[in-house]
Each structure stands twice: as C-alpha cells, then as structure tokens.
Amino acid sequence: MKRSLDEFDEFCARAARAAAIITSGLAADNSADIYTSYRCSVRFIFSILAAIVADARGAVAFSPVTGSHWDLVHRELRDLWHKTRVSLFSPNEYSSIHADDARRAVNTLLGNYDNRSLDAVYFESMPNSWIGGLYERLLGLKPRRADTPDGVELRKDAGVRRRSGSFFTPAYLVDYIVTESVGRLKACEQLRVLDPSMGTGDFLLRTLAYLSSVGADAVDVAANGLFGCDVDPIAVDIARFLIWLETGGKVDAGELERHLICADALGGRGFLWYDAFSDAFSLFAVRRGFDAVIGNPPYIAAKNARKGDYAALESQKSKGQSDYYLLFLENVLDHGLVSPGGVLAMVLPDPFLVRANAAEVRRRLLKEWTIETIVHIAGAFPGTQVANVVPICINHSLQSTPISAVRLDRASLRRRFQIDPMNTVAKLGCKVSTNFALVQPKAEVLYLVQGEWKEVFERIHGADMSIGSIRPPFAFLKDIGVEAVFRGEEIGKRAISSSEGDRPILLGGESIHRYTIRYEGRRVRLDSVEKPLHWYSAPKIVLQKSSAKINAALDDVGYIVPQSVYCVKLKPNGIHPLYLLALLNSRFLSDYTFRAFTGYKMVQPQIELEDLRGMPIRTLTFTLDAKDRETLAAEGKKLFEHESEQAAEGFPLLSALVDEWLASNYDDAVHDVLVFLAGEAVKLRSPENADKSRVLRVDDAIDAVVYRLYGVTPKSH
C-alpha cells in the first residue's frame, strides 16, 4: 500500500504531540532537565510504536493499548522484553512516567487525532523508512517550557541536528551505495558489512533487503553479516528493532546487540575495533575486516565539538580544523577495516574534494586504493547548507584506472539519478586521471578540468598540470610585486554598525561588485584595526570572498574591510592596479577559478585566500619608451571604438592587434589598453551612467584581450 507524505506528516504530528505530553510530566519538577525528559519521552514513543508494528506484522503478540491501564501496557512491554530481548522493548526507562501521561500519550499516538484512529492495517503497511524518518523529525525538535495545555512546546530547531551532525540519508542514495558496494560482493562467502555511524540503520536495512532479494538467508545475514555502531542509544535501539523486524522476529536479538552497538567509534572510552567486533578480526575469519564499509558519517567540525561529545574531535581542537567524517575515514584506513578487494562508500560533504584538511585522506585513497566513481550532488539534503559527494573506493590500487566523476548540480539531473543511477553515472561521467589528482598540491580531484581546459592548464602550469606549479609568462599573484594579499579584519558587526569613527569601513563581501564598491556609510575606530594601516591605503583591489567567481573592485578611498573581503595591495612602479583588476574580473579567470577552486563546493562556494594568492597572472615585460607606448595604446583604443560602433562580436580586430603586439614584445601596449578598458568599466558603472550597452561592449573587449593574453581562442570558450 502506497503511503502519502501527508500521511507521514500527520503521523509525525501525532508522535510529537505524544512526546510533548510525556515530556511535560517528566519535567514538571523545575529542576529536571527538559532535554533529558524529552529524550526519555521519545524512547517511550518508539517502544510503543515498535510493539504495535511488530504485533501488526506477526512478529510478536501485543494486546491493543489504546485506553488500557498503564500498568497493563507496562507489563506487556516487560513481557515482550523477556520474550524477545529486543532492547527497544525494555521498560526500565519508564518507571518515572506518570500513568495518566502515558495513557494520554498512547491515545494521542494511536487514538483519535484529527477525527482518525489508527488500526492494525495502518501499522502492518507502514514503511520501515517512516520509523527512521519519524526519529529524524523528532530529533529536529527542541523542547521548551510553555504556557500550553501540555506545558511543553516542541519547536523546529535545525541547530539540534547541526550540532549532532546527523542528517538522515535519502533512500535513493542508500540504494545506490548498497548496490555499488554490496551488489558487487554478493557472491562472497560470509559477507560482512559495517556502518560505523549507523543511526537508525538505513544502510544496514537496505543491505539486508538486497541480500535477501538475491537469495541469501535473512536471519543469517542479520546475525552474522551486519555490523554497526552509533553514539545515540535511541538510534541504536531503533536499528536493532528494524533489523529484527525485517527477519520477522526470527533473528536472535542477542546477536544483534553484539554487532549493533552504542559506542563512539572514534576512540570514546577506549573503543577498539578489534574488541568491539572480534568476529570480523578473528584469526579464523575467511577475511579479516569488513567486505564493505558504508554509511553517512556526521559532518561536525572540531571547533563545534562540545565537552563530553566525540572524544576524538575534542582532541583535534588544538591541532587545527578537522571534521568528524574525516576522522571516520582515517579510522577506516588506519585500522584496515576494509578487507583487500572490499569497498568503501560513504556520503560525504563536497569540500572533501579539495579542502586542505582532507588532503592526506584523499592522497591515501588515490595512492593505495582505486576510486572508481565520484557522484557530486546538490540538493540531496533539503534545508542543509551542504552538497555531497559519494565516492566508491575499492581496496586495491590501480592508478591507471581513471575516476569517473558525475556532477548533479540541477534538480533535473538529480531526478534522473534517482530514477536510473547506473545509467546516469555511465552517461554523464567524465574521466579524471588519478595521477592528475596526485600531482596537485593537496591531491585535489579537479574533475572540472576537461577538454580544452586541459590545454589551458598545461600552458599555464606545465605538462603535469599541477596548480602548485607555474610556467612563464605566467606567475602566481603573490609573486607579481604585491605588498600584501590579505583577509580583512576579524571584527564584529557591532564594531562596524556606527556612522562615527576614524576610518570608513565596508560592511562585508556584499559591498563588493564587479568594478564597483557600495559604501554603506559605516566607520570604525582605529583601535579595532589589527592589520597594518598602510595595507588599507588606496589604491588597492578588494574582492568578495564568498562567491563562485571573482568579483573585484578598485578601492581608491582606502576603506577598512572585514574578513569577508580580500585585499591585494600592489607595490608601486609595477603593473597598474587596473590591469590586474581587468584580469581578475575577466570571464577567463572567473572560469579558471571555478574549475580550479570554487566549483567543488556547490553550496555557499567561496574563494580561499590561498586560491587568490595562487591565481595565475599574465606577466608583462616593459620595453617601450613613453612615446611609443602612447602611440600604440591610441591605436588600440581607436580600434576598440571602431569595433564597438560596428558591434563586432568578440572584437576580432582588437584581438588580432593584441596577438601582433605580443609577438613583437610590445607588452606595454597590451597593458595600457587593458588599463584604459578597466578604467572605462569602472566609470561606466557609476550611478549616473545610462549607457548600459557600452558597459557590455567594454566587458567583451576586456574578455577578448585577456583571452589572447592567456593564449585562448575566445570562440572555444
């Protein structure tokens, strides 16, 4: 029976109301911790739900509870616990629940709600995914005392899940990972699959269903082939119950408790993989370790770890930024959790592709493993500020095998992947050489460098195309005669909210647009400025940090800027700031920036300071005297005006003239024409300018000149 999203929403509302009733009773004493009370109420709701679902599906016998005396319900749960030893049925947690509250909560969950009561058929046909989905919903609610009939109000709080790092995985991604990992290993004897952060067991449940569908014995798989751990005891109990239920209640719950455990897998309380799962590391095992390690680890950064949570993360705070998901990957590699020839497949945040803190893990996977495919997907977790990558990694090294990378950055592509993932990967995948990734300074997987862009990267960076190297006539921005390339002040909004102060200050990155600055009238006291004041003096170039492409402007005032703005302060007597401004705002360098840096973070992309310092800048040699420079520049300006009037697409004559100048070593003339054009771009963006068509022509002319400076044919880009 197909169930609708509206039905699921209604059921979640029932459960939330029931949880509020229990929480209110437990937290009636003002000294009680309302969050602890809420957790207890959630576990109670799932105990009742588990018993009803198990009864409806014939796994156990559980008498109807609506309207029953609480003592009877409590006794029924205790009997279930003794019969099955399924931990979710254990009634020990509920001795403090008031009988009236329990009865009201059960009636709310199962009885009349919006004039509808739920019967056995409802629970018999309830998808297992609803149970995990309900826990996700309840996990995203925050309890607080309120003047309501229940005395407690539950409000949505994304921060609760964000702090735990827990976001439950869409079914289509679970299916894809299980098929790509377990599917290729299904013929293995005594297959063992581990989810080291299993939550409510979605990946393990799907593994059980998949192996059962290809002829494996479900009870044997559940008892001997599924392993998992999680720090959340309620999630662990739910996972055990769902797997027990999937076998019709036939698997020994004691075996599930041995293999599905509540623990901090990253070293909490002396956790050791070999002790926790001795079956997988026995000397008598067919293969030591696990055939597949799969899942979706939490995405918590060390800086957000709270005392008492995630012991391994707390220890990382003093060592620079790390993330929980990276520590999971390091554990998998360091402890040899995947058997030779086995598969590692996880849902990871997309900064994994290029972020510096993931460099060592990437390098190890690239050198010691085979990364077969990477699916880069946006929108898989609605409401979150992260896109994801799903790498499929095989525990053997075949560096000659290219990585197939698939980019799903639109809803239509994501939908196509949901419907037919294998064909989507096969048809949309682009090949990335493992060696190309390994030569990058941080082992970045730059899969957007394809086709003609490989020629561009080879021209700029040399034969191996490492963005850590550069060849003449190009140089890194940090090496072209700059005094400083720096991030603005770490300063709070309060310090820049005043119109009084010693120096003008911009509000942030939103103040920067291509060629223009929007000053909001704020000022700041000099004692709030940490960096050398002369760095902020005019002229300097300012750039927006949080953007997928470059947005740069010339600061001829001398603004102080906050940390969401980057600054480039050139030394005098070198290239003109407007020349550099033209390069930075060109279509070419924006495209380069996307393919080399920002395109690998689909949500809230940003340019890192090291990216800016490593931007490839076309250097020039100045050889002409002032008169010759003036004559040649005048010729270039005249040609620009002529082609502007003719609306010549791509400025072919100006492009040809630039080629001629470069061949004749007249770099000075190219420099001066770009300075003129960038100056026009700045002037034309003033509020009083109404000639929008000329703005476009100037931008096109800048692009045409910059393309020729970098040896690129505009038609191909």
How far is the C-alpha of 715 from the C-alpha of 698, rounded, in Å?
A: 18
Average pLDDT over residues 291-305: 80
User: Residue 555: enclosing H or E segment and its boundaries?
Assistant: strand 552-555
- What is the predicted pLDDT for the residue at 387? 95
- What is the predicted pLDDT for the residue at 708? 97
Q: Per residue in 67-91, pLDDT tens?
A: 556 677 778 888 888 889 999 988 7
Cα distances (angstroms) measured from residue 567 to each of 330, 366, 487, 613: 36, 35, 6, 11
Average pLDDT over residues 531-543: 97
How far is the C-alpha of 141 from the C-alpha of 16, rounded, in Å?
A: 9
With a cut of 60, say whether residue 366 has pLDDT above it.
yes
Quickly tell me which residue has 């036939």 as its tokens.
Answer: 250
Cα distances (angstroms) measured from residue 560 to each of 398, 508, 655: 52, 10, 38
- What is the predicted pLDDT for the residue at 717? 47
pTM, entire model: 0.91
| pLDDT classification of 159: cutoffs 50, 70, 90 | low
Average pLDDT over residues 6-33: 86
More confident: 162 or 51: 51
| pLDDT classification of 200: cutoffs 50, 70, 90 | very high
With a cut of 60, say whether residue 276 has pLDDT above it.
yes
Q: Per residue in 373-425, pLDDT tens?
A: 999 999 999 878 899 999 999 999 877 889 999 999 999 999 999 999 999 99
Estimate the crossing angle of helix 577-585 against helix 667-684, to 10 degrees: 70
| Burial of residue 577 (number of CB atoms within 10 Å: 0-12, 13-18, 19+) | buried
- The fold of the 474-611 domain, in CATH, is Adenine-n6-DNA-methyltransferase TaqI; Chain A, domain 2 (3.90.220)
- What is the predicted pLDDT for the residue at 689? 76
Q: How much is the mean pLDDT over the chain?
A: 90
- The fold of the 166-346 domain, in CATH, is Rossmann fold (3.40.50)
More confident: 68 or 593: 593
More confident: 2 or 460: 460
Strand partners, 554: 541
Q: Per residue in 644-677, pLDDT tens?
A: 999 888 999 999 999 999 999 999 999 999 999 9
| pLDDT classification of 317: cutoffs 50, 70, 90 | very low
**Which of 142, 141, 140 lies closest to 165 in space, CA to CA?**
140
| pLDDT classification of 259: cutoffs 50, 70, 90 | very high
With a cut of 80, say whether residue 608 has pLDDT above it.
yes
How far is the C-alpha of 561 from the C-alpha of 490, rounded, in Å?
A: 9
Q: How many residues does the chain have?
A: 717
Both tokens of 204, joined, read: 């393990």
